[in-house]
Amino acid sequence: MFSELKQLPADPILGLSVKFKADTNPSKIDLGAGIYKDALGNTPVLACVKTAEQFRVDNETSKAYLGSAGSADFNDRITALILGDHKVIAEKRIKTVSTPGGTGALRIAGEFIKKCTPGATIWVSNPTWANHKGVFEAAGLIVKTYPYYDYENKCLDFDAMLDALKQVSKDDAVLLHACCHNPSGMDLNQEQWQQVAEVTKQVGFMPVVDMAYQGFGTDLDSDAYGLRLMADTVEQMIICSSCSKNFGLYRERIGACSIIGRSAIAADIISSVLLSVVRVAYSMPPAHGAAIVETILGSQELTTQWHGELAEMRNRINDMRQLLVDKIAENGVERDFSFITTQNGMFSFLGIDEAQVQRLQDEYSIYIVGSSRISLAGISADNVDYLAQSIAKVL
C-alpha cells in the first residue's frame, strides 16, 4: 500500500522554519513564522495565562470528556468576546463548539457546509492564508478566489472585490477576514464592511468570517466591527475564531466554530448537525486551552491583565511597522514603504520580487515567504538595522 506514495513538498512556511533553525549565521532573522515574538525574539507565556494554569492545576478534579461541544463555559465566553452583547445571543440563535485551534474551526465549518450543500463552492480572498485552500478542499468544497489586494498599488482592491461578490451564487459561501488580513495586513474599513454586508444580504451567499487575530488590530471591539455588523445584517453566518494569537495559546490548539441560524429552533437543528460533524472528525475537543481562556474571561482581574498584555503585543507590532519604514528610508531607499504603517496585524507584503526574496535568504540569512510576506513580529530594535540595510542592498 505505502509503496505507491510519492514525496510531497514541504509547506513553504514550515520549510522556512527548518532552514532558519539550521542556519548558523548569528545575524539570521525569521520573518516567516506567523507567531508573536517579543523584543528578545521569544514567544512568551502571558502572565495571565500562567495564573489561570495554576488555578486549573489546583482546582481540576477530573480528566473526563466534556462532550463533543467542549466546555459550555468557554463556548459562552468566547461567543460573548466575539459578538459582545449582540441580539443573536439573547435570541439563542447562535451555537458554538470548541475546536482544535482556528484551523479545526475552519475544517469543521467546511464539513458543515458540505453537509448542507454537497459540492458547494467557497470563495476566498486573493491572497489569503495559505492553508485556507487546503483545509476547505480537504473538507470536499470547491475553492475559488475573489480579488482583494492590489499588489501594484499596495492597497485594497475594493471595487473589484465588491463586483466579484455580486456575481457569487446564493448557494456558495464566502470567506471574509474579520481583521488583520493574513497575509496582506489590509483590512476593510467600516464603510466598506457596510457595503460588503449589504451585498451579502442581497446576493444571499453564506458568509464565513475567520477571526484569528481579534485584538491585534485596533482593539477587541473595533476588530470585531465587521463581524458584528454582518450578524446585524444577515440571518445566517459562520464564525471561526482562534485563541492562539490573542491569548498566546499556540500549542494548546483551542478555537471555536460558531454558527448563527434564523431562529432558536433553527439553531438547535444546526447544533445537532454540527455535533455530528465533530463526532466523526475528532470526537471531543481539547480542554486545557479552553479552561485557561474561560478562567481569564471569568475573572475581572485576569481579564484586565490580559487586556494590558494584549495591548503590549499589539503596540509592539505597530511600533515595528513604523520603525522598519523609517530605517529603510534612512538607508537611502527612495521607494515608498509607508503602506506598511497603514496596515493591521502581524503581516505585510514587502513588495519585492522572488529573486530579491531569495537573495535576502542566501546572502543575508533573512527568511521571508516567496510572496514577500513578512511577519512584523520577527523584527526588533536589535535586528531592524541589519534588516533594513539588507533590504536596501537587494533593491
The catalytic residues are 129, 210, 245
Task: For residue 145, give the amino acid letter.
Answer: T
CA distances from 65 to 70, 74, 214, 320 (A): 8, 15, 28, 43
Name, in order, each residue with C-beta under 8 angstroms of 245's C-beta and a sequence gap of 6 or more.
Answer: 35, 36, 212, 213, 216, 346
H or E element that contains 210? strand 206-211
69 phi-psi bin (left φ>0, alpha ψ -120 to 50, beta other):
alpha
Residue whose C-alpha cell reads 490573542 in the numeric block: 246
Length of the chain in terms of residues written: 395
Gap between the Cα atoms of 63 and 260, Å rounded: 31
Count other Cβ atoms within 10 Å, centred on residue 130: 16
Gap between the Cα atoms of 54 and 338, Å rounded: 44
Gap between the Cα atoms of 197 and 187, Å rounded: 15
The x, y and z cell numbers of residue 50, run together, are 500562567
Sheet holding 94-99, edge to edge: 94-99, 255-260, 237-242, 206-211, 173-177, 121-126, 142-147
Residues 84 and 224 sit within 8 Å (Cβ to Cβ): yes
- Give the bridge partners for 126, in sequence order: 147
